[in-house]
Amino acid sequence: MKMMINSIQKSVIRIHTLSRASVCRGLSSVSGPKVCVVGGGPAGFYTAQQLLKARQDAVVDIYERLPVPFGLVRFGVAPDHPEVKNVINTFTQTAHHDRCSFHGNVNVGKDVSIEELRQAYHAVVLSYGAEGNRSMGILGENLPGVFSAKDFVGWYNGIPANKELCPDLSCETAVILGQGNVALDVARIILSPLDMLKKTDITQHALEALATSRISRVLIIGRRGPLQIACTIKELREMVNLPNTRADMLLSDFEDIGETLKDLPRPRKRLTELLIKALNERNDKAEKSWSFRFCRSPVEVLAASDGKRAAGIRLAVNKLEGSGESVRAVPTDKLEDVNCGIIISSIGYKSIPIDPAVPFDHRRAVVPNDTGRVQDVSGLYCSGWVKRGPTGVIATTMNDSFDTARVLLQDMDTGKLDLSIKKPGAQAIAALLQTRGVRTVSFTQWEKINAEEERRGKPHGKPREKLLDVEDMLKIAWS
């Protein structure tokens, strides 16, 4: 009798073990919905998080071009904003979910097509962000010494493609075109005392370049006025409080602004009051200065006498027509020339087409969609910047991605997505990639890269020293 009971117990344990094993394989053989997310940044992870939470049978695979996850949280957030990067902890929990898998080192559109993904999954969500630069469309913008803010940020934040940027910081004046948060991030990094940056995850080569920088003046140019400035109060306050710097703005830019102050919405009012406070405070002991220049638009990048690099920028002085947020900047005949050694264009990122099979609005630089459903392509969705354009902060992307996930879930519930069709999911894509010689990086393998970066940062008192070479990343991941 005792032997019979032991035998039954062993059988039960074996059945339970087999059941757990099937769960850990990501339910690839179960008929629940299989969803593919293209892009391992905030939009991708937030979309995956919502899908996994809402449906206990959903399986989500995240495909990312680089061997490392987290997109703009890793590569876009300023090094001196570590608190913003805490969201990585949430993304890591999602990546460790039994029904979620991360597949790094997969270039969707090249290694595997969108159509192949659509055949393998019930739904495909495009969340690949905005890796292109908006052009200024002016003479001289391709001269050495002119950079996009995206590339400059990538240089100090460790994007592999930007590691060779080598900006010349030996000049006195830098000009930044644009007055959004990214523009202020760049200005702050250029002017920050080195001691403030040494303990961050800024790249070592950027830290060394900034140590020898001779830039003492940064002009932040905007085409409209102080009442339309695009940054947030947090970013502006950081500029105002930056040690050893002073604000050096033009009083004429603030004429009559006091009369409209009382009628402004509260967020705009607080921002404007802080601007006025910075205007009126003087710190004559400061060695460096920053300044907003309003109602100015770039007309031409001026070349040095040898024609080989940028030496200045010509600006049109604008007049404003209309009122409030909808005010328009209209160029006048008046021009101003500013001498400078480096020009950084922070006029916006833009998404680029990923695959000929995906419709793309080239004028707006987004995938045309209706609340996340891609136009005229069933089973295809989008979230984040490729859906709405490069605007907002991480919380904006979170809400946007949750909205896309809700639409997708609604389509599952109403039968708009046919879940009765069995889809192979990652199993089919893995086989395809193998035949094409593409080796993926799992989240566990990314964690090897993460551990190595943290190890390299420790002797310098930094949270990490980012690897800048994809081949080095892959070597460590696959070791």
User: Is the model's pTM score more than 0.85?
Assistant: yes
C-alpha 2: how far from chain center: 63
| Secondary-structure percent of the chain, ordered helix, strand, coil, rounded to 5 | 40, 20, 40
Query: Does 19 map to a domain?
Result: no
In a domain, residue 2? The reply is no
Compute the average pLDDT of residues 434-444. Answer: 98
CA dihedral for 365, 369, 375, 377, sign (positive or negative): positive
Same-domain check for residues 299 and 286: yes
Range(s) of the domain holding residue 285: 134-349
- Give the domain-ending residue among 349, 371, 387: 349
Give how many domains the chain has, as a whole number.
2
Q: Quote the pLDDT of residue 392.
A: 87
Residue 2 has pLDDT above 90, yes or no: no
Q: CATH number of the domain that 39 lies in?
A: 3.40.50.720
d(CA 465, CA 457): 4
Residue 103: C-alpha distances to residues 110, 386, 436, 441 (Å): 15, 20, 15, 6
Among residues 303, 321, 349, the one where a domain terminates is 349
Could you say which of 349, 382, 399 is where a domain stops?
349
Query: In terms of domains, do 197 and 333 share one?
Result: yes
Q: Would 4 be classed as within a structural domain?
A: no
Strand, coil or helix: 237:
helix
Of the chain, the percentage scoring pLDDT greater than 70 comes to 94
Interatomic CA distance for residues 167 and 317, integer angstroms: 28
DSSP assignment of 366-433 equals B--EETTEETT-TTEEE-THHHH-S-S-HHHHHHHHHHHHHHHHHHHHHTSS-TTS---THHHHHHHH
CATH of the domain at 154: 3.50.50.60
For residues 266 and 289, state if they share a domain: yes
Least confident of 102-111, 144-153, 246-255, 407-416: 246-255
Within 273-359, strands assigned E span: 288-293, 296-303, 310-321, 328-339, 342-345, 349-350
Same domain, 241 and 319: yes
Q: Does a structural domain hold residue 17? A: no
pLDDT tens for 385-437 read 999 999 888 999 999 999 999 999 999 999 999 999 999 999 999 999 999 99
- Burial, 322: exposed, middle or buried (Cβ in 10 Å; 0-12, 13-18, 19+)? exposed
pLDDT value for 31: 64
- Looking at the structure, do residues 102 and 157 belong to the same domain, yes or no? no
Per-residue model confidence as pLDDT tens digits over 68-118: 999 999 999 999 999 999 999 999 999 999 999 999 999 999 999 999 999
